Amino acid sequence: MAKRFGMKKALAGVAGLMLALGAAGTAEAASSAAAAEYIVVAVAYEHANYGGESYELWARPCDTTGTQYINDLGGWNNHISSIDIRGSRCVVTLFSGTYAGGYRKSFYGDSSYVGNDFNDRARSLTFSKF
Ligand SMILES: [Ca+2]
């Protein structure tokens, strides 16, 4: 089985993600019960060029779901430096504040660097269809 989380902080982040998306139970229960619905929409990385620790972002497919929120990246606040977008027709928007607050920046494809303006600044994010 592939390594799913880079570190314990990431597990807390995923629990938060499942909570934010309204799934019941623990991340373990959600991953088995909702395996058919949830996919890895994107992978966030600690460093530029997809380096360092990684954080899989599980959500429903962007092309069949409305905007989905991770309102607080928890242990991954102020960490994200690059993003690999896996979902189809998926735009990932990073926010400098929790609950989609503050400054925002959208990514429509893999980004080896989120830019000086957003490096280590994201505290929440959304997935939407484009
Ligand atoms: Ca970083």
Give the tokens for residue 108.
């429509």
Ligand 1 centroid distance, CA of 118 (Å): 10
Q: Which helix (H) or strand (E) holds 39?
A: strand 39-47
Q: Counting beta carbons within 10 angstroms of the beta carbon of residue 41, is it exposed (0 to 12), middle (13 to 18) or buried (19 or more)?
A: buried
What is the pTM for the complete model shown?
A: 0.74
Partners of 59 in the β-ladder: 39
Neighbours of ion ligand 1 (CB under 5 A): 46, 81, 120
CA of 46 to the centre of ligand 1 (A): 4
Range of the domain at 90: 8-129
Q: Per residue in 33-77, pLDDT tens? A: 555 589 999 999 999 999 999 999 999 999 889 999 999 999 999
Determine, yes or no, domain membership for 3: no
113: CATH: 2.60.20.10
